[in-house]
Structure 1
Amino acid sequence: MSEVTAVCVLLIAVVLDGVLGDPPNSLHPVAWMGRFVGWGRKRSRATKNSIRFLQGCAVFACGAVIVATVGVLIQIACRQFPHWFALLVQAAVLKSTFSVRSLAGAAGSVAEALSNEDLNTARHQVAYHLVSRDVTTLDASQLSAATIESVAENTSDSFIAPLFYFVVAGLPGALLYRFVNTADAMLGYRTHELEWFGKPAAKIDDLLNLIPSRLTALVMLMIYGAYVRRTNPAIAIWWRDHSLTASPNAGHPMSAAAGVLGIVLEKQDHYRLGEGQPLPGIQSLQQSIAMLWTTAIAAVVLSVAGLLMWRTL
Structure 2
Amino acid sequence: MQGILLKPLLARRALFAAVDEVHAALAADNLPEARRLLAWHLVSRETSELTACEVAGAAIESLAENLSDSVVAPLLCFRAGGLPLAALYRYANTADAMWGYRTPDLEYAGKVAAHADDVLNLAPARLTALCTLLVSGGRGLGVWARDRRNTASPNAGHPMSAFAGALGVRLDKRGVYILNVGGRMPEAADLLRALKLARLTFALAMLFLVLPWKKHV
Q: TM-score range by the shorter chain?
A: over 0.9
Q: Residue 109 of structure 2: SS of its match in structure 1?
A: coil
- Residue 140 of structure 1, CA deviation: 0.7
Report the identity percentage.
Answer: 45
Q: Aligned-residue CA RMSD in angstroms?
A: 1.3
Aligned partner of 1:76 in structure 2 is none
Q: Which has the larger radius of gyration?
A: 1
- Residue 199 of structure 1, CA deviation: 0.9
Aligned partner of 2:114 in structure 1 is 202
Q: Residue 114 of structure 1: SS of its match in structure 2?
A: helix
Of the three residues 206, 209, 215, the one matched with 1:303 is 209
Taking the TM superposition and a 5 Å limit, the aligned residue runs for 1:151-190 are 151-190=63-102
Of the three residues 81, 87, 93, the one matched with 2:5 is 93
Amino acid across the alignment from 2:99: L
- Residue 104 of structure 1, CA deviation: 0.7
Taking the TM superposition and a 5 Å limit, the aligned residue runs for 1:130-145 are 130-145=42-57
- 4+ residue runs over 6 A deviation: none
- Residue 263 of structure 1, CA deviation: 0.6
* TM-score, scaled relative to structure 2: 0.96
Any gaps of 5 or more consecutive residues in structure 1?
A: 1-86
Taking the TM superposition and a 5 Å limit, the aligned residue runs for 1:249-260 are 249-260=155-166
Amino acid across the alignment from 2:62: S
Distance 2:216 2:59 in 1: 40
Aligned partner of 1:275 in structure 2 is 181
Amino acid across the alignment from 1:184: D
1:235 correspondence with 2:141: yes
Aligned partner of 1:146 in structure 2 is 58
Cα contact 1:206–1:249 (8 A) shared by 2: yes
Amino acid across the alignment from 2:171: L
Taking the TM superposition and a 5 Å limit, the aligned residue runs for 1:277-292 are 277-292=183-198
Query: After superposition, what is the alpha-carbon deviation per residue over 1:24-64, rounded to whole angstroms, capped at 9, x for unaligned?
Result: xxxxxxxxxxxxxxxxxxxxxxxxxxxxxxxxxxxxxxxxx
- Residue 92 of structure 1, CA deviation: 2.1
Aligned partner of 1:119 in structure 2 is 31
Distance 2:31 2:216 in 1: 52
